[in-house]
Structure 1
Amino acid sequence: MKRRSADGDGVVKFLNLDLSDLQGIKKTAEAFLAAETRLDVIWHNAGVMAPPEGSVSKQGHELSFATNVLGPFLLQQFLTPILIKTAESEDVVKGSVRTCWAASVEFPDPPGEDGIVWDDWALSASEYSGLNGRVQRYVQSKWANAILATEMAKRYPQIVSASFNPGAIKTDLTRHAPGILKSVQGFLSYPVRLGALTELQAGFGGEVAEYNGCYLIPWGKIGSPVPKVVEGIQKRASGERLWNLCDGLVKEFY
C-alpha cells in the first residue's frame, strides 16, 4: 500500500504503549500525533485473558478490564480528532476511516444483564473466584468493546466503528490459563492468518461501511452480538452507560 503520511516511504514505526498503564497513554498518543498528519484505521487489539487471580493494572484496576477496555478507550479519545480530520479530507473515500475494536467468541455467555456487571465491573464478588471468574472477566471486557463500537458509531458517524470476533486463533492468549484449557484451546484453534482475515475485513471491507457499529464474525462476515448485549444496547442504553463509566475512570489522564 502506498504510504500517505508525513515522511518516508513504506516506513513502519514502533511506539511503546502499555495499555495497562493509563499514565503513559497520553505520551504515546502525542508522539503519534507529532509524527503523523492523518490516521485512516486503528485496531484496538489488546487482549489479556485469565491473568492470575488478583491481577491489577498500574492504577489498581482489574487487569483484564483495564488493558482490554480502559486503555483502548483512553487512547481513542486522543486519536478521535485526527480520525475525524482524515475522514473529512477531500481525498478520502467515504466510510474508509475506521476504528476497529477486538471482541471475542460468542461463548461463554457474558455476565450481567447487558454483558456488564455494572455495580461490580471488576467481578470481585465471591461467585467470580477461581478460573470461572478469570474467564468471565475476559469475556466481559471483550463484549464491552463491542458495546463501545456501537456507541462510538452513534457519537462519531464520520468514522466507521466496528467490533470483530477474530475466532479461536492459535496464539499465546491463554498463557496464564491452566494446562487443560490451553490444550483445549490449542486443539480447537485455527491458524493466526485466518484471524487476520476478520480484522482486515473490519478495517477495509466495503460492506462494513454500510453498517456502522456492526459486529463481525469469522471469517469477516457481519454477525450479531449475543442477545443480551444487543438488548442492552437497544433498550437500556448500555453503550452510553459504559462510555460514561469508562470516561469517569480515565478522566484524570486526559
Structure 2
Amino acid sequence: MTGWTADRMPGQQGRVAVVTGANSGLGLVTATELARRGAHVVLAVRDTAAGERAARRIDGSTEVRELDLARLGSVRAFAAKLAVDHPVIDLLVNNAGVVLLGPRRTSADGFELQFATNVLGHFALTGLLLGTLAAAPEARVVSLSSITHKNAHLDFADLMSERGYRASAAYGRSKLATTVFGLELDRRLRAAGSPIISVLAHPGLTRTNLTPRAFEHRGRPGRLLARLGLLLTQPVERGTLPQLYAATAPGVRGGQFFGPAGLGETRGRVTEARLSREAADPATGERLWAAAEELTGTSYL
C-alpha cells in the first residue's frame, strides 16, 4: 500500500463498473481511471448533459445513465434497466453525495435531502443490484465515507433531522450512516457466504467543486475561508486514491476502510483508516439496516 498510485491499479479489462456521481470531482476521476485501465464504466448521474460532457473527457469505454438518488423511483428504474443491459456487474462505487447549506430540505420522498441522497438512495441501489453483482466472480461495493463520521451520532428517533436542524451536523450523520451501512453490508454478505465484498474509503480533505461553495454564502469572510480551504486540501486526484485502492487493489478484504495517512487523515498516502466506535458497532448496523429497509421498501440479505 506504501506509495500506491492509480498507475499501480491492475487491469480492469472485461469488468463493468458503476460509479454514482461520476460527472465531477471524485466520481469523475474514479470513472476516468477505471476506464483508462480497461473497465466499461457506467456514469450514473442526475444530470445526463453533465454526464455526457464528462464522458467525452474520458479515454475509454463509458455510458451515461440517469440516476437521481434522492428519488427512490429513479433508483428502481435505473437498477431495472441496468440489470437487463448488464446482467453481470463487477464493481459498484457509491460515490455520489450532496452537501447542503442553509435551511433543511427534503427529497421527493419526504426525507431529509442529505440522508436521502447519501444513504437511502445508495442502500436501495445496492440492494437492487445485488443479483448482478453476485453474478461476477469477485464483485466489490465501495461506499464513500468521510472523516466527519467520527464526530457524528445517529439518533434513531430523528434520522431525518427534524429537530434542531443544522446542515453540517446532518451531513455528518449521513456519512456516519453510510459508514455503518458499508460495514453492516459486509457482515451480511459474509454471513450469507456471498462472493461480494463491501469496503469503504474516505478522501480526507480534498479540493472538489464543493470546497469554495461551502463558504460562498458568508460574503468576504467566506471567500477568505475558501482560499484557506484550497491551501489545506489535497488535489482531487490524490483524494480519489483511497476509493480506487478499495475498488481495485488485490488482497482487499471485506469491511476494510481506507483513507489518507497524514495530518489526521486529511491528506497523504493511502492507508487503513480509523472508524468511530459507533460506526463499528454491530448493534448500530442492525438498527440502521432495519430502518433503511423500512424507509426504502428494499429488503435484501
Which bracket does the TM-score occupy, shorter chain normalised? 0.7 to 0.9
What is the distance in 1 between the residues matched to 2:132 and 2:298? 22
Residue of structure 2 in register with 1:170 after alignment = 207
Among 1, 10, 14, the alignment partner of 2:64 is 14
Question: Aligned ranges for residues 48-197 of structure 1 at < 5 Å?
Answer: 48-87=98-137, 96-106=138-148, 109-110=151-152, 115-126=153-164, 128=165, 133-157=166-190, 158-174=195-211, 175=213, 177=215, 178-179=217-218, 180=222, 182-197=226-241
Higher share in strand: 2
- 1:49 alignment partner, SS class: coil
What is the distance in 1 between the residues matched to 2:207 and 2:146? 14
Shift of 1:30: 1.3
User: 1:150 is matched by which residue type in structure 2?
Assistant: L
What is the distance in 2 between the residues matched to 1:35 and 1:173? 33
User: 1:2 is matched by which residue type in structure 2?
Assistant: Q
CA distance 1:182–1:134, change in 2 (3 Å):
farther
What is the distance in 1 between the residues matched to 2:93 and 2:182? 11
User: 1:243 is matched by which residue type in structure 2?
Assistant: W
What is the distance in 2 between the residues matched to 1:108 and 1:243? 19
Higher relative contact order (CA 8 A, sep 6+): 1
Shift of 1:207: 3.8
Residue of structure 1 in register with 2:287 after alignment = 241
Residue of structure 2 in register with 1:91 after alignment = none
What is the distance in 1 between the residues matched to 2:271 and 2:119? 24
Kept in 2, the 8 Å contact 1:52–1:176? The answer is: no
TM-score (norm 1): 0.82
CA distance 1:241–1:203, change in 2 (3 Å):
same
Which deviates more, 99-108 or 191-200?
A: 99-108
Q: CA RMSD in A?
A: 2.4
Kept in 1, the 8 Å contact 2:127–2:299? The answer is: no
After superposition, the C-alpha distances for 1:134-153 in whole angstroms (9 at most, x for unaligned) are: 11111111111111111111
Kept in 1, the 8 Å contact 2:104–2:167? The answer is: no
TM-score (norm 2): 0.70
Tell me the matched-pair count: 229
Residue of structure 2 in register with 1:33 after alignment = 83
Shift of 1:71: 0.5
Kept in 1, the 8 Å contact 2:124–2:298? The answer is: no
Residue of structure 2 in register with 1:2 after alignment = 13
